[in-house]
Every structure is written in structure tokens, then in C-alpha cells.
């Protein structure tokens, strides 16, 4: 037991190789594992050794082929009761309980060991002298350990006796009550609730423990996957704080080295850094990003995340040294992206920020921060070598960012973005248009003009400026066709040109198909505009039939029925939704107290549309989807 007390993992390894029993129990009931956990909490035992040394001892013991969990961590309570076992070893202490006992050198000193034990399947909800490990942790000042136990599924609402606590008023208390009384003014109680909510999503305590004890880390892999999925579901709705718990849980299984692929590890740490940044903990976000870059030194996304963490506005003013680091990261990422591009795809680097390898994963909802990092790299003092391409990429980032916000709103995941005005979405589309316009006016032939103009057209459509968009889009299509014609005229007899002819025909077909969809987009916008106009100013007596032609210049307002029919035809509304709107308009859509013209009121319109709020979202989203299809086509074909 002395090597365990001293944290000498080398001697332990030698003894085990020589046939020593890793499960040997001393007279006081302590095994080598229990001894190592206990000694790690005291400076007088460590004598200069670190917690990492004791972690190595524990890992060596647990990895031994003959290692067995303590009795009370091998059986369910009902089985123990049936065979008369009192559910304790020696003094009744489990390794988890020892991690949170009193009188250690400092609070939470054994948190790293506790995380490893929980991730390897040790029982988190052990009881000693009638008190749970969670209550003991709170009473002894191990607040971070308490959060970790709650995250592992220990019940925070279960009542426990409070004789050991100065908060006792003669009645049992839950861990949540103890936290509120012993840690007033802190966020510990709230953190315990968040951790418990995370645990309930992933698995209950017993099932979690049993899964973690499966051979070869299979159970840990399952739990890690569940935790990651829970975290990502929170990320999709920008619930950054709620996403942290599941991601931390997933990473805790990675500490065992038995569950994560390199891809999962990368994505989980990347998103964890993003959550920290969005939650206002910039220093921790930067630390996480630096660790990510250490583990994945050749991945541009890791460089980008570190650059974003350093340059985030919430971090305050930056020194010249830190700006230089951001510039260096941006330059290194740019070089790596270029070298990772597939051959004959010069446009790919202009459209995608991510390289096309196993880590080609889009960072949801972080486009604005990426655009800020580009602004930092484009400071005049830094004299960027290719500012036009960077401005173009910034435009793409803002367009995609706004599109993602629309997609979230469409699925009802972020109601704040359904408010009238769409200010934030429109602002991002406006920034995208400004960047593409700048590139158009300052193009030095490094960027294809048709590509710039096409993105301008898409941004104009997204902003509802249909007539301007049509002119720019037609100019872009003409540019693309002229390029094909030049290629065909070089050598008519060359076999390659036959392939080019075929490709040109297919290209024109694709352009026609997309132009047809573009016409639907334009009409859907006009239809929505008419509906909005009707809700504000149109007199009932002036409504007349609408012929549905895109070429019509009629100034007459369409009947609501006809507009809804067009919405149904464009898959913007279902038939039942359209009928419901009509019924509501017929029944109560006129302000009886208004003037003789009986204008349709805003309140009446809101009543009519409240069950079909996706109409405006679908209109915007259809435009964005068409934009994505066109861009994908251009990139893949050329």
C-alpha cells in the first residue's frame, strides 16, 4: 500500500507485473485504489508529487486484468440486502465518497480523480452513515465536486438527515436546500439544477453506471454520444449555457480514453469553447481553444476558434502582440485551406471557410464572430495580402449566418427572431450585400465577376429588392455563358470541346431550372408584400381579381383567396392553413369602429395569421434555399 500512498505509479506497475494483487484489502478495509484516492488529498502524503501522479496510479490499477470494483460498487442495493451485505468495505467508504471527505488540503482538490472514477462507472450516489456523497461534498466545501456528482445523476431533491450541518433546523434537507443555505449569493444551486437536468436527459444514475462498466468502453461511447446530441440540440437554439453541461459530460468520458473518435473530440471541444465565449467567459474559451489547437495543430477551424476567442469584443482592448497572434492564425489557416482544396476547384476556397477533410463541419450560428475575426485581420496596419477575397468571404459568412437564423425561426426554435422587423436578419443580409458590392467595384480580376454579381443578386433578393436583383442576376448569367462560349471557340475540332458543349447544355438547363425557381421566389415575395399591404391600407371595396402572371403590371390588389392559392401552389402554406385564414378574415377581420372604408386592421391580421406564422419565414427561407442551390451548383460545376 505504500506506493499508493506515495503516488509512485512506477513501483505499482512493477509490483503488478510481478503478480501483486490489485484488490488486496488492508485490515481497515482499504484497497490500493482507496489508499491512493485518500492520500492524494493531503500535502503531507504527496510530498511534492502531483495529482497527475495519483491519477496514473489509479489508472494503472483499474486497467489491470484482475482489478475488481469494491463490493458496494459491484452490486445493486437489493441484491446486497438479500445476501446480508451491509453495503460497505471496512469503514463503509467508497472511492467516490473519499473524494469529498473533510480536512483535505484545499476544497475540490480531488475533482480530477472524481471525474475519472465517475467516468469509469463507480457509483456516484453512495451512502455513508446515512448521508449521500452529494450532501457530504456540499458540507465539506467541495462545490465543484458537488456539481460533478449532480451531473452524474445524484438526486438533488432527495431528503437527507442534516445532523452534520450547521443549517439543521430539525428536518431533513435536499442537496438543493443545503446549497442555497451554505452558499448564499452564489450560483451553486442554479448550477446543480442545470447539472441535474443534463443528467436526466442523458441517463439515470443506475443505467449510467452499468453502461460505463461495459467492456472496451462501449457503454462510455453510448453515453458520450447521448451527451453530445443533447449538447448539440441546445446549440441549435443558441442555448449556450444549457449546452455546456452535456458537452462537459461528453468530454468527461473522453478522459478515460475509451470512447471518443478524434472527430468527436474535436467537435465537442470546439463547441465547448464557443459556449464559454457566448456565456461571457472569454478567458476560459481561449484556454479551451488553445488546448484544441495543441491537439489538432493542422486544422484551420481550431486556428479560427482561437482567433475568435482572442479577438472577441468582450475581451476588451487588445495589445499589438495579441493582434499579431490573430493575424498569424488567420494566415496559417488560409495557407492550410488552400493546400487542402481539391484540384480544379478555384471557387471552393471563396465559398467555404472549412477545409474539405474529416473535420469539415460547419460552426452553427458563429458566422458573426468569424466575420469579426476577418475584420481584425483586415486592419490597415496589417496590410493583408488578399483583402478582396477576405471581404468576399465575409459577405458569404453574413449571408449564411442570416440564412441559419431564418432556418431556426422556421422551426420555432428561437421565438425572439420571429418579432416584426427582422432587424438582425436584415442587417446581416445588408452587410453581405455591402461586401459583395465592394468586391464588384474594386475587383482586380482575382475573383470571377459573375460569382460576385450572383451573390449580389441573392442578397438583394433576400432583402426584397427584386427588380435590382433581377438585373444583377441576369448580368451574372450572361457572364457565365460568355465564359462558356469563349471556351468553346478555342478549337472546334478538339474532343475536349465536345465535352464542354455537353457541359454547357447541362449548365444552361440548370440555369433555366433555377431561373424558374427564382421567378417563384420573386412572385412569393410580391404575394407576401400584397398580403402585408392589405393588412394595413387596402380598402375592401377595391379588391379585385389577380391574374397570377409575373409579367402583369396591374395595379389592382389581389383577392386574399388568390394570394393564398399562390402560396399553396408554392408550398408556402398548406390547404387547411389557407382555408383557416380565409374563414377568420370573413368572420372578424374588419374594424367596425373605423371609418366607412372598413380597412383591415393590424390586430385582425395578427389574429388571422397567428396559426400560420411560417408564411413570412417560408418566403425568406425559400429565397435562401434557392440561393444555396445556385451557389452549390456554381461551385461543383466549375
Mean of pLDDT values over 345-371: 39
The reported pLDDT for the residue numbered 247 is: 82
The model's pLDDT over 511-542, given as tens digits with 9 standing for 90+, comes to 444 444 444 444 444 444 544 454 444 333 33
Please give the pLDDT value at position 580: 52
- Of 280-284, 331-335, 478-482, minimum mean pLDDT range: 478-482
Mean pLDDT in residue range 423-443: 82
* pLDDT of res. 521: 47
178: which residues sit within 8 A by CB, 6+ positions away? 135, 138, 139, 162, 165, 167
Is the CB of residue 276 less than 8 Å from the CB of residue 241? no
Q: What pLDDT shows up at residue 148?
A: 87
* Backbone phi, psi, residue 356, to 5°: -95, 75
Tracing cell 475568435 back to the chain, one arrives at 308
**Chain-centroid distance, C-alpha 602:** 37
Residue 128: φ, ψ to 5°: -135, 125
Q: How far apart are CA 463 and CA 337, in angstroms?
A: 31
List, in sequence order, the alpha helices (H) in 64-110: 77-82, 95-98
Q: CA quadruple 411, 415, 420, 423: dihedral positive or negative?
A: negative
Using pLDDT thresholds of 50, 70 and 90, give the confidence band for residue 338: low
pLDDT at site 512: 44
| Number of alpha carbons in the 13 Å side-chain half-sphere of residue 535 | 17
Cα separation, 50 vs 441, whole angstroms: 61
Average predicted confidence (pLDDT) for the chain:
65
Q: What is the largest CA-CA distance in the chain?
A: 101
Kindly state the average pLDDT of the residues 444-465.
Answer: 79
CA angle at residue 205 from 202 to 211, to 5 degrees?
75
Of 379 and 179, more confident: 179
Phi-psi region of 90 (alpha: psi -120 to 50; beta: other; left: phi over 0): left
Output the pLDDT for position 258: 52
Task: Dig out the grid coordinates for 588 from the structure.
Answer: 372578424
pLDDT digit string (tens) for 187-246?
Answer: 888 888 877 777 776 666 666 666 666 655 566 777 777 777 777 767 766 677 777 778
pLDDT tens across 4-50, in order? 888 888 888 888 888 888 887 777 778 888 888 888 888 777 777 88
φ, ψ for residue 173 (rounded to 5)?
A: -135, 150
Percent of the chain's residues with pLDDT above 70: 52
Q: Is the pLDDT of residue 549 over 80?
A: no
- Classified as helix, coil or strand, 369 is helix
For residue 333, report the phi and psi dihedrals to the nearest 5 degrees: -65, -40
Nearest to 121 by CA among 217, 56, 25: 217
- Is residue 630 predicted with pLDDT exceeding 60? no
Residue 169: the pLDDT is 61
pLDDT value for 90: 53
- Which one, of 21, 35, 96, lies nearest residue 64 by Cα? 21
Whole-prediction pTM: 0.47
Question: Residue 367's pLDDT band (boundaries 50, 70, 90)?
Answer: low
> Mean pLDDT, to the nearest integer, of 558-587?
49
pLDDT digits (tens, 9 = 90+) for 97-111: 888 887 788 888 888
| Predicted pLDDT of residue 571 | 46
Nearest to 354 by CA among 366, 344, 230: 366
Q: Cα dist. 36→2, 30, 56, 205, 413 in Å?
A: 9, 10, 10, 25, 48
Amino acid at each position: 500500500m505504500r506506493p499508493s500512498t506515495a503516488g509512485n505509479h512506477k513501483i505499482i506497475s512493477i509490483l503488478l507485473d510481478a503478480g501483486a494483487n490489485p484488490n488486496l484489502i488492508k485490515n481497515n478495509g482499504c484497497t490500493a485504489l482507496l489508499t491512493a484516492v485518500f492520500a492524494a488529498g493531503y500535502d503531507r502524503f504527496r510530498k511534492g508529487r502531483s495529482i497527475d501522479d495519483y491519477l496514473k496510479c489509479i489508472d494503472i490499477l483499474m486497467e489491470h486484468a484482475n482489478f475488481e470494483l469494491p463490493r458496494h460498487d459491484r452490486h445493486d442495493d437489493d441484491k446486497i440486502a438479500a445476501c446480508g451485505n451491509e453495503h460497505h468495505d471496512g469503514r463503509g467508504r467508497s472511492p467516490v465518497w473519499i473524494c469529498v471527505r473533510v480536512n483535505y488540503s484545499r476544497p475540490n482538490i480531488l475533482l480530477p480523480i472524481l471525474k475519472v472514477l465517475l467516468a469509469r462507472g463507480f457509483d456516484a450516489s453512495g451512502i455513508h452513515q446515512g448521508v449521500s456523497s452529494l450532501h457530504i461534498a456540499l458540507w465539506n466545501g467541495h462545490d465543484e465536486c458537488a456539481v460533478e456528482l449532480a451531473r452524474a445523476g445524484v438526486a438533488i431533491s432527495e431528503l437527507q438527515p442534516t445532523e452534520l450541518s450547521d443549517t439543521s433546523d430539525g428536518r431533513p434537507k435536499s442537496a438543493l436546500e443545503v446549497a442555497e443555505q451554505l452558499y448564499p449569493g452564489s450560483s451553486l444551486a442554479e448550477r446543480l439544477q442545470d447539472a441535474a437536468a443534463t443528467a436526466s436527459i442523458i441517463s439515470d444514475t443506475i443505467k449510467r453506471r452499468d453502461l460505463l462498466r461495459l467492456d472496451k468502453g462501449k457503454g462510455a461511447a453510448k453515453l458520450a454520444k447521448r451527451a453530445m446530441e443533447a449538447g448539440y440540440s441546445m446549440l441549435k437554439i443558441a442555448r449556450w449555457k444549457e449546452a455546456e453541461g452535456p458537452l462537459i459530460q461528453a468530454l468527461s468520458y473522453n478522459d478515460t480514453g475509451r470512447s471518443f473518435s478524434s472527430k468527436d473530440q474535436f467537435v465537442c471541444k470546439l463547441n465547448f469553447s464557443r459556449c464559454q465565449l457566448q456565456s461571457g467567459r472569454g478567458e476560459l474559451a481561449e484556454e479551451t481553444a488553445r488546448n484544441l489547437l495543441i491537439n489538432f495543430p493542422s486544422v484551420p477551424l481550431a486556428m479560427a476558434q482561437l482567433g475568435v476567442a482572442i479577438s472577441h469584443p468582450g475581451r476588451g482592448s487588445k495589445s499589438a502582440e495579441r493582434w499579431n497572434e490573430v493575424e498569424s492564425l488567420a494566415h496559417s489557416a488560409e495557407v492550410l485551406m488552400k493546400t487542402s482544396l481539391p484540384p480544379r476547384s478555384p471557387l471552393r476556397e471563396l465559398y467555404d471557410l472549412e477545409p474539405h477533410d474529416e473535420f469539415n463541419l460547419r460552426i452553427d450560428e458563429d458566422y458573426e464572430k468569424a466575420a469579426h475575426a476577418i475584420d481584425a485581420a483586415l486592419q490597415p496596419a496589417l496590410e493583408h495580402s488578399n483583402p478582396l477575397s477576405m471581404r468576399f468571404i465575409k459577405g458569404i459568412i453574413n449571408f449564411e449566418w442570416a440564412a441559419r437564423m431564418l432556418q431556426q425561426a422556421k422551426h420555432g426554435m428561437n421565438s425572439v427572431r420571429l418579432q416584426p422587423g427582422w432587424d438582425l436578419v436584415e442587417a446581416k443580409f445588408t452587410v453581405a450585400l455591402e461586401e459583395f458590392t465592394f468586391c464588384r467595384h474594386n475587383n482586380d480580376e482575382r475573383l470571377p465577376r459573375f460569382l460576385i454579381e450572383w451573390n449580389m443578386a441573392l442578397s438583394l433578393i433576400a432583402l426584397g429588392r427584386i427588380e435590382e436583383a433581377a438585373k444583377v442576376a441576369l448580368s451574372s448569367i450572361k457572364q457565365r455563358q460568355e465564359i462558356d462560349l469563349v471556351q468553346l471557340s478555342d478549337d472546334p475540332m478538339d474532343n475536349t470541346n465536345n465535352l464542354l458543349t455537353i457541359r454547357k447544355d447541362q449548365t444552361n438547363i440548370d440555369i433555366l431550372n433555377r431561373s424558374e425557381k427564382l421567378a417563384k421566389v420573386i412572385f412569393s415575395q410580391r404575394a407576401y408584400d400584397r398580403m402585408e399591404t392589405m393588412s394595413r391600407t387596402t380598402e375592401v371595396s377595391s379588391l379585385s381579381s389577380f391574374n397570377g402572371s409575373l409579367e402583369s403590371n396591374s395595379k389592382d390588389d389581389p383577392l386574399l383567396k388568390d394570394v393564398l392559392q399562390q402560396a399553396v401552389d408554392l408550398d408556402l402554406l398548406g390547404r387547411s392553413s389557407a382555408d383557416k385564414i380565409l374563414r377568420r378574415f370573413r368572420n372578424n377581420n374588419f374594424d367596425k369602429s373605423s371609418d366607412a372604408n372598413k380597412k383591415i386592421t393590424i390586430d385582425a391580421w395578427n389574429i388571422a395569421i397567428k396559426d400560420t406564422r411560417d408564411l413570412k419565414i417560408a418566403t425568406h427561407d425559400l429565397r435562401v434555399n434557392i440561393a444555396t442551390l445556385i451557389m452549390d451548383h456554381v461551385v461543383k460545376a466549375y
